[in-house]
Amino acid sequence: MSSAELDITSPYRTLPISYLVQTARDFDCSIFVFSVASWINVKDYEAMKKGFEPSEKGLLFYFNGNNVKEAERRIQCIFTP
């Protein structure tokens, strides 16, 4: 299992949840994010829509399974200006 805390603030745009979900679905590994005291499956659009409430500028993502490093790099690229 791998984890990465990512800065989710971006000076130039906001990120649609659907884009994050679709990016996560490109990988075989499990991807979870810790948001407002709960774990959310990033690949589950309804769960993300309902429970994803970033309250700070950083989020903790967890990656588990195949192609973890590629998934982590791709998710990090989403939040990099």
Residues 31-75 have pLDDT tens digits of 998 877 789 999 999 998 888 776 666 778 899 998 999 999 998
Q: 19 forms bridges with which residues in the sheet?
A: none
pTM for this model (two decimals) = 0.80
- Measured CA to CA, the distance from residue 75 to residue 81 in angstroms comes to 12
Any alpha helices (H) in 15-66, and if so which ranges?
A: 17-25, 45-51
Q: In this predicted structure, what is the pLDDT of residue 70? A: 94
Short-list 14, 56, 62, CA closest to 36: 56
Query: Which has the higher per-residue pLDDT, 80 or 46?
Result: 46
